[in-house]
Structure 1
Amino acid sequence: MVASSRKRLIAITAVAAVIFAGFAALGIWQVYRLQWKLDLIAAVEARVEAPAVPAPGPADWPEITRAKDAYRHVTVTGKLINSQEVQIYYPTELGPGYFVMTPLLRPDGSYVLINRGFVPEEKRAPSTRAAPEGEVTITGLLRMSEDKGWLFSRANDPEKGNWYRRDVASIMATKGLRPFAPYFIDADSTVNPGGYPIGGLTVVKFRNAHLSYALTWFAMALGTLALYALVLRYEGVWGTRPPPEEDEE
């Protein structure tokens, strides 16, 4: 093998090695992500199915995180401040409409924002539905404040009363209610007076495409090896070098 061919082969080998290592590393990373996602799904399912526990109070708020607290099955008691509710526009399995978000005042003086459930357009106005008075106990799932809305949703516009994401801090600041929990609670499917709002619509679903991603990256790594083997064959280093094509006269 002449020196120029050897240098070319070394360069090709180095490039192939880098590409193969990159694809393989991405595949391995996706395998780790797959296990992480499976563990997350199992943990969330366990929280949802567990017996309801009291919602975290002010002393526990600094320790609340999405990783360990989202979708916890909780219960909370207090008085709904119906005059301060907001309606969040949201597409649901029942069609487009609004989630009714109502602050709840607890006996300790703190507030928790409650997603009481879904109402269609014709039930958006509070005057069209009954509102519970006095002390109530609500059971549901602890949800973390949303800094992003659903796909294609717009930013909240508090001045016009148009809301598109369940941003706890923004809602409670607009209403001037403090101190407030850094989470909200999705009420369960317990029927409300008059049938509205409709609770229990929490979607507990996580997209999990990590296995397909891993297989794709590993396939690309194998493709790199196959292409490298073909180059070696053409260079005469491995296998039988294909005969040169003859020009047709």
Structure 2
Amino acid sequence: MFSVSRLLTGAAFLRRAFSGMQVLHRSFQSPAAGYLWRNPGSCLLIHPKKELPCIGCRLNSSSAAAVESEQDAVLKWFLLLIPLTTFGLGTWQVQRRKWKLKLIAELEAKVTADPVPLTSDPMELTALEYQPVNVRGYFDHSKELYIVPRTLVDPEREARDAGRLSSSPESGANVITPFHCTDLGITILVNRGFVPRKKMNPESRMKGQNTGELELTGIVRLSETRKPFVPENDLTRNRWHYRDLEAMARVTGAEPIFLDADFKSTIPGGPIGGQTRVTLRNEHTQYIITWFGLCAATSYLWYRKFIQKMPL
């Protein structure tokens, strides 16, 4: 959500920068004493600790005016870069937002497309990410894996809680089970869905452990890389924090092919399917407001200072 305080803070900072640059450009460097400022109307150089007589610093009025005018012109066009830069960044974010909305629309269309047969070709699988596929076979429940911590993906609940300040969905795990495809003759990995923490033990949900042959529709997912601050997968405790398909395949003896089972695959008493979260981060509207807001604020300050000649 766009933060008004961020915009106000940025505008206040830039206003101080405008004023500070006005003072800074009148200063000059003394080889012996550091930064010195000339006190207008006198022949004294103002030092941080004492005033020193300015030797030979009295200039005639026309020369001083010319120097000051030249310095003001440099500062004027230098500070104009701030609103120009923020305007360029705002325009860039507009283009980024269009690109992201198009990507989201394509992803949603792909997820809701008709299922196609699963392929074992790695090159084709890459192009099938988020594509629904059909498989037929049976589960091997003796080699379950658990991705933790996870919360239930429930679009209806998330829509209800959208206006709440806080919510505490139950924590649990996604159950990953090897699935032998009888039509392809290979074993793949299937995310059967979410179970609460108290149901992670298979013995507590035996009614949901289907052992017969069945048809399944799932969403193709690819391997993940570990993000910052995400723990490493703990293979000895069978606790996984991200999808490392190569490691999961080695542990279970399956192919590095991964499906998220759809909601229709849910069996009473078993994991809840349909745990594919189809979202892409889209904060470009916030960035657009921020950059164009800063552009408007700094443009006003620049116009007031250098066109209207009014103090800030």
Question: TM-score category by the smaller chain?
Answer: 0.7 to 0.9
The answer to whether structure 1 residue 97 and structure 2 residue 160 are counterparts is: no
| RMSD, matched Cα | 2.5
Shift in CA distance, 8/174, structure 1 to aligned 2, threshold 3 Å: farther
CA separation in 2, counterparts of 1:23 and 1:206? 25
SS at match of 1:180: coil
Question: 1:246 — aligned with what?
Answer: none
Any conservation in 2 of the 1:73–1:140 contact (CA below 8 Å)?
A: yes
Q: What is the one-letter code of the residue matched to 1:211? A: T
Question: 2:123 — aligned with what?
Answer: 62
Q: What is the one-letter code of the residue matched to 2:260? A: D
Any conservation in 2 of the 1:16–1:225 contact (CA below 8 Å)?
A: no
1:72-221 to structure 2, matched below 5 A, reads: 72-93=131-152, 95-107=170-182, 108-130=184-206, 131-148=209-226, 153-177=230-254, 179-181=255-257, 184-190=258-264, 192-221=266-295
Any conservation in 1 of the 2:262–2:273 contact (CA below 8 Å)?
A: yes
Shift of 1:153: 4.5
CA separation in 2, counterparts of 1:171 and 1:200? 21
Unaligned regions of 5+ residues in structure 2, if any?
Answer: 1-61, 153-168
Q: What is the one-letter code of the residue matched to 2:191? A: N
SS at match of 2:221: strand
Q: What is the one-letter code of the residue matched to 1:189? A: F
Any conservation in 2 of the 1:79–1:104 contact (CA below 8 Å)?
A: yes
- Per-residue displacement from partner, 1:153-185 (whole Å, max 9, x unpaired)? 4221112222222222221123343x432xx21
Deviates more, 1:155-164 or 1:72-81: 72-81
Shift of 1:88: 1.3
Shift of 1:242: 4.8
Q: How many residues align?
A: 229
Question: 1:235 — aligned with what?
Answer: none
The TM-score with structure 1 as length reference comes to 0.80
Question: 2:116 — aligned with what?
Answer: 53
Aligned sequence identity (%) = 35
CA separation in 2, counterparts of 1:8 and 1:169? 64
Shift of 1:143: 2.2
Q: What is the one-letter code of the residue matched to 2:214? A: V
Shift of 1:193: 4.0
CA separation in 1, counterparts of 2:69 and 2:247? 66
Q: What is the one-letter code of the residue matched to 1:210? A: H
Shift in CA distance, 23/138, structure 1 to aligned 2, threshold 3 Å: same
SS at match of 1:214: helix
CA separation in 2, counterparts of 1:187 and 1:242? 66
- Per-residue displacement from partner, 1:80-116 (whole Å, max 9, x unpaired)? 2222210111331451111110122224343321100
Q: What is the one-letter code of the residue matched to 2:237? A: K
CA separation in 2, counterparts of 1:109 and 1:211? 48
SS at match of 1:195: coil
Q: 2:80 aligns with which of 17, 26, 30?
A: 17
